[in-house]
Each structure stands twice: as C-alpha cells, then as structure tokens.
C-alpha cells in the first residue's frame, strides 16, 4: 500500500506527460501508466531507475516513508537542483544516492528529457561531496556532486543503507 502511494500526489508534475497526477510514461514502450506499475515493470526488466528533480527535492514531507517509498520502487539515485535537508539524509539512510547538479545547471538547462540512458561510475573510494561525471547514451556528459555530506553517510551508502549497516554490525 505504501509503495503504491509513493508519488501518488494529484499535483505531481511529471514532465513525461502533459498533465498533473501520479502517472508516468514507460520509456521503452511509450505506455502511460501509474508510477507504481512503471516501477514494477522496470524492476522486472532489470533496469535501474533514477529521478531527475528540481529545487528542494523532498520538501513537504520529511517523513521516512518519503525515502522508503522510492527505495521500494527501485530508485537508485536522485539528481536534483537542491534537497530538503532531512529528506536528503533519509535518502542516504535508504541507500539512494543523492546527486546534485553543479554550476547552476538543471535538467532543463542540460536539455535532459529523462528518456536518456544515464551512466554514473561511482568509485569504491568515493569521498563526501565528490564530483562525478554523468555519461548519457547520446554521448553528452555533465558533472554532479554527491550529496554524501559526512563519512558516516558514506559508510551507510557502502552498506546499502542504514538498516543493512546496523544488521552487519550486529552479526
């Protein structure tokens, strides 16, 4: 139930569609469907999914389910202009990588449509705040900054989230 409710706000603006609501377009087929159904389909196809977001991503709900829902839907990373502080921390806790555009860039200024295939090599020795290159399927590249702000957050990430970290510590 909670996973189906993720991104189910009727005011949600998804740039894949010309109307507001909790719907999206499955990129490979072009089919319009509920976000939950698209996420489930991507998982069955073995595709990793990221979110392209605007300013203050996560504002309005700093509750932990605002990060748990995307994790259940299979979201691996978010690239945003900026983050609501608590939500960014909750994403890290769930093992979702928070990336941030650099140099005032945005999805719009970079001409991103969300239909591209994104490749981001995350090194094993990743540092807090490190910039990484994003490679697109059409050959374009741009830089993002990792929003792991502390070494503790990096530790959680390396374990796949805080829950996995705590389980491993207890074993």
Q: Which of 14-23, 24-33, 113-122 has the lowest mean pLDDT?
A: 14-23
- Percentage of the chain lying above the pLDDT 70 cut: 98
pLDDT band at 107 (very low <50, low <70, confident <90, very high): very high
Residue 91 pLDDT: 96
Q: In total, how many domains does the chain have?
A: 1
Residue 136 included in any domain: yes
4 lies in some domain: no
Residue 37 belongs to a domain: no
> What are the tens digits of pLDDT across the range 133-171?
999 999 999 999 999 999 999 999 999 999 999 999 998
At residue 61, does pLDDT exceed 70? no
- For residue 70, the model assigns a pLDDT of 93
Contact indicator for 153, 128 with CB cutoff of 8 Å: yes
The pLDDT of 32-58, averaged and rounded, is: 94
Mean pLDDT on 6-32: 83
Regarding predicted confidence, which is higher, 136 or 22?
136
Domain assignment of residue 132, yes or no: yes
Q: What's the CATH number where 99 sits? A: 3.20.19.10
Under the banding of pLDDT at 50, 70 and 90, the label for residue 1 is low
- The DSSP element (H or E) to which 114 belongs, if any, is none
Residue 20 lies in a domain: no
Q: Is the pLDDT of residue 116 over 80?
A: yes
Structure tokens given for 54: 């605007």
The answer as to whether 61 is a domain residue is: yes
The residue range of the domain holding 90 is 48-170
Residue 111 placed within a domain: yes
Average pLDDT (37-42) is 95
User: Is 26 among the domain residues?
Assistant: no
The answer to whether the beta carbons of residues 116 and 136 sit under 8 Å apart is yes
Strand ranges in the chain using DSSP code E only, listed in sequence order: 23-25, 32-34, 49-52, 75-80, 97-101, 118-120, 131-136, 141-146
Q: What is the pLDDT of residue 97?
A: 97
pLDDT computed for residue 62 by the predictor: 58
Over residues 70-103, the pLDDT tens digits come to 999 999 999 999 999 999 999 999 999 999 999 9
């Amino acid at each position: 139930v909670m996973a189906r409710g993720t991104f189910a706000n009727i005011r949600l603006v998804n740039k894949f569609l010309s109307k507001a609501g909790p719907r999206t377009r499955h990129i490979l087929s072009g089919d319009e469907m509920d976000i939950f159904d698209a996420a489930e389909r991507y998982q069955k196809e073995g595709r990793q999914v990221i979110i392209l977001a605007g300013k203050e991503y996560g504002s309005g709900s700093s509750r932990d389910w605002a990060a748990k829902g995307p994790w259940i839907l299979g979201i691996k990373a978010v690239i945003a202009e900026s983050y609501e502080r608590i939500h960014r921390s909750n994403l890290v806790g769930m093992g979702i990588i928070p990336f941030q555009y650099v140099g005032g860039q945005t999805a719009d200024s970079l001409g991103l449509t969300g239909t591209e295939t994104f490749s981001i090599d995350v090194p094993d020795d990743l540092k807090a705040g490190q910039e990484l290159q994003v490679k697109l399927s059409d050959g374009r590249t741009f830089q993002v900054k990792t929003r792991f702000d502390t070494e503790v957050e990096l530790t959680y990430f390396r374990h796949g989230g805080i829950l996995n970290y705590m389980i491993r510590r207890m074993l």
